[in-house]
Amino acid sequence: MKKVQLIFTAMLLLSAVACKKNSSTSPAINGNVSNAEAASMVAGSVSLNSNGVASLAGDATIDAIAIGRLPDACGTIKSDSISRQSSAGSAVTYNYKLKYSYTVNCNSNSQPDSLSSTLTYSGSFNGPKLSSSNSGSSIFTVNGLLPTAADFVINGEFKRAGSFSSKVDTTHHGNSNVDIVINSLTILKHSRTIVSGNAAISVTGDVPNKGSFSYTGTLVFNGNGTATLTLNGTVYMIKLDSGDCARV
């Protein structure tokens, strides 16, 4: 197992990054989790500094480049275990373990053209506004291994589930699930930056003595380091590097 120091600044679970809004607080469903809080959970599940979709897609494309160049790569299966943790003195602390498995798929000419990726992970997070523990998984297909392909194109599903406890309102604690189904997430090969793509979003969970909550929506990757989230009809802009989000 190799230990990797996360190049991003924090592991963010669920609503570690608070969504800022231009108007008053959105009403909660069943008196527990608001639209803005659910949007924060999505932001934490897609951003780079939270080991979200953008970060895991980066991992997959790095391995796609390396594995695709191996001799007789067709059918090659590679497993990788990674530990990621915050640096000493960080305001946000986290400790996560990830287990990847990759399989190289080839076309009819025996050329590597796609990579199948599966991931399981678990860990804990402690930030100024929220502490949590969670586990999750992802299943991705990375297309574009051929040298003639200018982009990587990723399709798949990312899941995150766990318990959370708010430090702002101690009555806000419970369980949550985030499910992100990704369609045509396009990443430039030379810079490994996201240029387009979209996803279907589902956020569910429950708060003891207050009931369950459920939100659905869509996410559009804008190609400028941001993504537009529409959640139960409310629109937010998410910064993919930091996870910050603001109501539009």
Task: Please choose, from the candidates 91, 118, 88, 90, the residue with its C-alpha nearest in 3D space to the C-alpha of residue 102.
Answer: 118
Calpha distance 11→216 (Å, rounded): 24
CA angle 130, 95, 91 (to 5 degrees): 50
For residue 224, report the phi and psi dihedrals to the nearest 5 degrees: -125, 25
pLDDT of residue 32: 73
* Average per-residue pLDDT for the chain: 81
Rounded CA separation 184/182 (Å): 7
Of the pLDDT bands very low, low, confident and very high (cuts 50, 70, 90), residue 24 is very low
Classify residue 14 by its DSSP letter.
Answer: T
Average pLDDT on 17-42 reads 60
Residues 6+ apart with CB under 8 A from 58: 48, 192
Q: Taking Cα atoms as reference points, which of 235, 199, 194, 239 lies closest to residue 26?
A: 235
CA 145 to mean position of chain CA atoms: 22
pLDDT at position 11: 33
Q: How many CA within 13 A on the CB side of residue 60? A: 35
% residues pLDDT > 90 (the chain): 35
Residue-wise pLDDT for 117-138, tens only, equals: 999 988 877 766 667 788 999 9
CA distance linking residue 165 with residue 168, whole number of Å: 9
Q: Would you say residue 59 has pLDDT above 80?
A: yes
Query: Got the DSSP string for 18-84?
Result: PEE-SSSPPPEETTTEEHHHHHHHHHHHHSGGGT-HHHHHHHHHHHHHHHHTSTT-TT-EEEEEEEE
What pLDDT, on the 0 to 100 scale, is given for residue 127? 61
Query: pLDDT per residue over 174-231, tens digit each?
Result: 898 999 999 999 999 888 889 999 999 999 999 888 889 899 999 999 999 999 999 9
pLDDT at residue 230, rounded to an integer? 98
> pLDDT tens digit string along 64-88?
877 767 777 888 888 888 887 777 8
pLDDT score of 54 more than 60 = yes
Phi, psi of 243 (to 5 degrees): 85, 0
pTM beyond 0.85: no
Task: Measure the CA–CA gap between 243 and 246, rounded to whole angstroms.
Answer: 10
pLDDT greater than 50 at residue 1: no
Take residue 179 and report the two structure tokens written for it. Answer: 């499910």
Per-residue pLDDT band for 19 (boundaries 50, 70, 90) equals low
SS3 39: helix
What pLDDT was estimated at residue 180? 98
